[in-house]
């Protein structure tokens, strides 16, 4: 039976890229190892779509060959959606800049994977983005790293509170992401004070190889404890983000103003500010 990996590893991504690159005129400077490294989490369909989009972009510019930049732009389009030049007021731009700067600074201080790009140019439904591609395929997640990831997710909301003494609706997806991590930590992975107990739906396979799911059976009292543990983890992440940004308020201001001026910053520019 042929098994298709939904999210292929580094070598498998290189093989898939080689297949879909056939017949397309790529520039000789394209670094396929780097392309494979920067597409952790892409499915085979995503990789195919990315190369097709890069070819379309090059054709629109009447270029004879597809460059590395075309591939990078196509990667962003596949991952985050098409670029949208929305009309924003100066206040909106500044708020978006501080929000994204908050994510990036918490990520840097918590020593997670490097930020490759920060932008206040809208893509898809997002007004801005902080791109943090994994440096390698993730096999295991530790509790300490998951908590840092939640703090990074709450960095945008924390920045709004510190700078504007107010909050916006822009953090909704960040809050959802942090909450989902916390819920999995409590319910699935036994990483809370409730102990190493799986409190989620139970999945099993019968004698005929058919999978079935049995809904979780926990008391109202235990469900209340689960909710409290989730809330505690998210609140702790939020407070950690505020602590980091309060300590780095000057850098937060410099980074946000740079984003307003340039709209996008790469890894080197960002890390220079942090240094």
Tokens of 120: 């206040």
- 38, 116 in Cβ contact below 8 A? yes
Q: Which residue in 6, 53, 64, 100 is the catalytic one?
A: 100
Q: What are the pLDDT digits (tens) for 33-47?
A: 889 888 888 889 999
User: Tens digits of per-residue pLDDT, 143-161?
Assistant: 999 999 999 999 999 999 9
Q: What is the DSSP letter of 126?
A: B
Question: Is 11 annotated as catalytic?
Answer: no
What is the spatial order of strands in the sheet that 117-119 belongs to?
A: 129-131, 117-119, 264-266
Mean per-residue pLDDT for 201-211? Answer: 61
| pLDDT for residue 212 is more than 60 | no
């Amino acid at each position: 039976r042929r098994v298709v990996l939904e999210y292929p590893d580094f070598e498998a991504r290189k093989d898939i890229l080689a297949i879909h690159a056939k017949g397309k005129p790529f520039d000789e400077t394209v670094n396929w190892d780097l392309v494979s490294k920067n597409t952790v989490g892409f499915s085979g369909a995503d990789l195919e779509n990315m190369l097709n989009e890069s070819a379309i972009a090059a054709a629109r510019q009447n270029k004879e060959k597809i460059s590395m930049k075309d591939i990078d732009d196509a990667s962003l389009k596949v991952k985050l959606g098409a670029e949208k030049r929305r009309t924003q007021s100066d206040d909106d731009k500044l708020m978006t800049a501080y929000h994204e700067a908050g994510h990036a600074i918490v990520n840097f201080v918590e020593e997670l994977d490097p930020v490759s790009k920060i932008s206040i140019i809208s893509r898809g439904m997002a007004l801005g983005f902080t791109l943090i591609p994994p440096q390698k395929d993730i096999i295991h997640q530790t509790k300490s790293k998951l908590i840092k990831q939640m703090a990074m997710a709450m960095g945008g909301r924390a920045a709004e509170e510190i700078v504007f003494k107010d909050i916006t609706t822009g953090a909704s997806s960040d809050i959802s992401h942090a909450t989902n991590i916390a819920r999995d930590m409590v319910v699935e992975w036994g990483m809370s004070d409730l102990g190493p107990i799986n409190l989620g739906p139970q999945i099993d396979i019968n004698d005929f190889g058919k999978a079935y799911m049995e809904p979780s059976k926990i008391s109202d009292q235990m469900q209340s404890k689960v909710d409290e543990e989730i809330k505690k983890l998210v609140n702790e992440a939020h407070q950690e983000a505020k602590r980091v940004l309060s300590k780095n308020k000057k850098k937060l201001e410099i980074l946000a103003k740079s984003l307003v001026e340039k709209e996008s910053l790469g890894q080197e520019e960002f890390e220079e500010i942090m240094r």
